[in-house]
Amino acid sequence: MLLIILGIIIFVVGLSISRGNDNLRRFGNPARIVGFIIILLGISTACIVQIDAGQVGVKKLFGKVQEDVLASGLHFINPLLEVERLDIKTKNYTMSGTHDEGTKSGDDAIRVLTADGLEVTMDLSVLYRVVPKDAPKLLRETGADYEDKIVRPLTRTRIRDNAVYYDAVALYSTKRDEFQQRIYKTIEHDFNERGLLLEQLLVRNITLPESVKATIEQKINAEQDAQKMQFVLQKERQEADRKRVEAQGIADYQRIISESLTDKQLQYESIKAQLEIAKSPNAKVIIMGKSNAPVILDTKDNK
């Protein structure tokens, strides 16, 4: 467009020179030729537009946005049209409390109030892209700076609106997935109405207040101590049961032995023992008395 305007100016100047001073008239025709060439060059460049991969072109004619879009490739268009390119690839908008980790430098974490009145800090990543067919609507209603006008403020607002339905500890542990799905649905609906497609919403980190973290740690330690004591008690019960069974077995054994032994049985066992002693190579003296137990004297000379 600039080349066309420049060519028209040069052509008009050349035309004026041709009708003016005789000394300058000889420069008129070359100026008009140059102007005409620049106009043709401007028209040819304005008619041919290349849209790169991962982009769409939105056409505007005198400030009015056209409904049809240009896909990636080479296009021949009206030279009066202005084409604005929008990126339709997946974008990542991260809000984090870590320095230089998020899209904005510094602490950009989201601070929300939970149902129990505690302040929780969240790090979040939003994966989204522009819907190609809705690019004219997005450009007309929001503009090219939709990230600052829609993605950032809408996401932060929806997270704060939904966090009030959860307690801090539940949000940190058992209800985390449920909370993520809930905010995903609400943000997805808002994005679709504005020409954006929400692909994924990632709750990267949830930081609890220090007082809550200390309480959780104390609770975990108490539960671990209780489980340890339960294990010790169970082990002691098992040991007591083992000793009880062992004692019962010994008692049963002694009872059976005492019931089965008779005087004749004891006399027989005594004779067998004496026989074994007699067979021993060691010297000995067996003194038999009236008692049931004989006296055995070893007379072997120990040197």
Q: What is the pLDDT of residue 108?
A: 82
| Position 169 pLDDT exceeds 60 | yes
CB 293 within 8 A of CB 270: yes
| Position 133 pLDDT exceeds 80 | yes
Assigned token pair, 148:
């600052």
- Other beta carbons within 10 angstroms of residue 120's beta carbon come to 22
Residue that wins the pLDDT comparison between 255 and 190: 190
In this prediction, residue 88 has a pLDDT band, given cuts at 50, 70 and 90, of: very high
Strands 55-61 and 64-70: antiparallel
CB 196 within 8 A of CB 131: yes
Strand partners, 123: 205
State percent of the chain over pLDDT 70: 77
In this prediction, residue 208 has a pLDDT band, given cuts at 50, 70 and 90, of: confident
- Cα–Cα distance measured from residue 215 to residue 20, given in angstroms and rounded to the nearest whole number: 93
Write down the mean pLDDT value for the chain. 80
The secondary structure of 206-259 as a DSSP string is EE--HHHHHHHHHHHHHHHHHHHHHHHHHHHHHHHHHHHHHHHHHHHHHHHHHH
Query: How does pLDDT run across 227-241, given as a tens digit for each residue?
Result: 888 888 888 888 888
Q: What is the pLDDT of residue 128?
A: 94
Minimum mean pLDDT range among 87-91, 96-100, 131-135, 191-195? 96-100
Q: What is the pLDDT of residue 175?
A: 87
Q: Which of 111, 135, 132 is nearest to 121 (CA)?
A: 111
In this prediction, residue 303 has a pLDDT band, given cuts at 50, 70 and 90, of: very low
Q: Region 72-94: what's the mean pLDDT?
A: 87
Q: Region 201-214: what's the mean pLDDT?
A: 81
- Cα–Cα distance measured from residue 163 to residue 19, given in angstroms and rounded to the nearest whole number: 77
CB 205 within 8 A of CB 128: no
Q: Region 45-71: what's the mean pLDDT?
A: 86
- Cα–Cα distance measured from residue 183 to residue 204, given in angstroms and rounded to the nearest whole number: 14
Q: What is the pLDDT of residue 77?
A: 81
In this prediction, residue 157 has a pLDDT band, given cuts at 50, 70 and 90, of: very high
Q: Region 106-124: what's the mean pLDDT?
A: 86
Q: Which domains does the chain have, with CATH numbers?
A: 2-87 (no CATH), 91-208 (3.30.479.30), 218-292 (no CATH)
Residue that wins the pLDDT comparison between 294 and 167: 167
- Cα–Cα distance measured from residue 20 to residue 151, given in angstroms and rounded to the nearest whole number: 60
